[in-house]
Structure 1
Amino acid sequence: MLKKITIGLIFIGICSSCVSSKVYNDLESKYNALKEESKGLRDENQGLESEKNRLQNELTALEKAYEEATAERDRLRQDYAAAKNNLENLRASYNALEENSSSAIEANARKNRELLQQLEDKEKALAAESSRLEALKKQLEVRSKRVDELESMIAAKDAAMKNLKDAISKALLDFEGKGLTVEQRDGKVYVSMENKLLFQSGSWAVNANGRRAVQQLGTVLAQNPDINVLIEGHTDNVPYRGNGPLQDNWDLSTKRATAIVQILQANSSINPANLTAAGRGEFVPVATNTTTEGKAKNRRIEVILTPKLDEITKLLNDI
């Protein structure tokens, strides 16, 4: 068996040395594009959270403006009632004085005209304020509905991701304690598989046990077509010393991520357009590289599952 493996490695080395620089450059270009896409996804997620906060702030401001407008309307109504009451009193005084003094009558008449003008002005101001209040109320209702729809949509996405996380945990139950973890954070599901479950040291060929784990993960993903799947390869900080077409940990991490994508793509129910492979090298560690245990944790494949946000983006554009 050892002899066969040795012969196979020599054959792979001979074949790998024949890879042209064009193939390497193409791989490097794809890697850079995937890195930018990964950054874009994080930025998009942060942008959506910022937009949600902005809309919530606008809703709070509209509610405050609505309350102020309501208070102003009530004040105008009180002023109107007071002015009307004063007018009635003056009319009574006018009727009483009409028989005694023409000059007093004239003064009261003049005062009445002034009060009538004031009353008319108050009525106009009240009508204008009521109209503005009604428009503000409608605007508030529309914004509130949009925010409710957005919150409902986000809640539904979170619930769907929780269900997905539970389904993956159940499907991969046999691999618990063998270097595999499943967790949900920031609206995404992270499936982390240490290299001891998947690869031999320095290799990107997935072993039988690791292939079974990836295939079982693929069975769950096939039932969730609205999920974007990012496969990231990670290494420790020990420089790559292997032979063949790979030069460093960047190449090794990318090759390992691509190997996982190829296993998932073998499942015809998974849309290849939902799959993305990326190599992160040693630059995103989850533990210290000063210990053997820490390095083992850093040598991993992370499958990051993100819900598609097309509906949320459309709703934001409509607001």
Structure 2
Amino acid sequence: MKLSTLLSALAILSICSIGCVSNKKYAELQTNYQQLQDKTSDLNQKFLTSQQQLNYTTSKVKSLEDQIASERQNVTALQDALNKCLSSSSQGNVNISKLVDEINASNKYIKHLIDAKNKSDSLNMVLTNNLTRSLSRDEMKDVDVQVLKGVVYISLADNMLYKSGSYEISDKSGETLGKIAKIIKDYQDYDVLIEGNTDNVPIAQKNIRNNWDLSALRASSVVQSLQNNYGVDPKRLTAGGRGEFNPIASNDSPSGKAQNRRTQIIITPKLDQFMDLIGKAPKQE
């Protein structure tokens, strides 16, 4: 009887030990799985940010390329007309000279367009580098900075800043907003617009009527955080919401919706300030 009892006790102890090891292994796998999920989410966000910047750049280059192509077609047409004039004895030297002048003028305009495109790309690159010089390479992964027609756009996805479906600033947003405050405070004479944007999914909360409310409240939260937590002068700040009516991608897919749910910090220097900004590096901390 005693031997039987002892064997039973040993069997129960063995089962418990196996169960403990299993549970520990399961918890470890769960932790690894969650880390992989977090890394996947981070990579997806970086991809969306890069895609947005590529869309802006592609659109601008396409416009200039269209103008260049149009002028080249014009040159071809003028060259054809010139060839006809040269082969026809009825055309006088005056008409030929006029066509040559027009061809030369078109070629000159094409060169001007190419130079303008190259200069625009160079100025935007210089300005972006100056604005982000106070940020480290790791910090730049969380902040998308673009320059379009002399206006500086700093874009942040909503999941960086807010609690889900809310306008409340999340705890993890502090580091990101600190980076934004660095840029804003480096250039103290420029006005700053904080602009909230949403996708087209209706908001379902009692105290928020629609996406207009949500986008404006989110912008206001960022403004107040920059003022209260990072010492940005509130006289320079404006909060605004554009709801779902300023999309940069289609709302027909989850990735498009994610791109549209964003907050933009828009720095708007005047022309003379813009030129100063190109040639001036930010203050080093």
TM score, norm. by length of structure 1: 0.43
Name the larger-Rg structure. 1
TM score, norm. by length of structure 2: 0.48
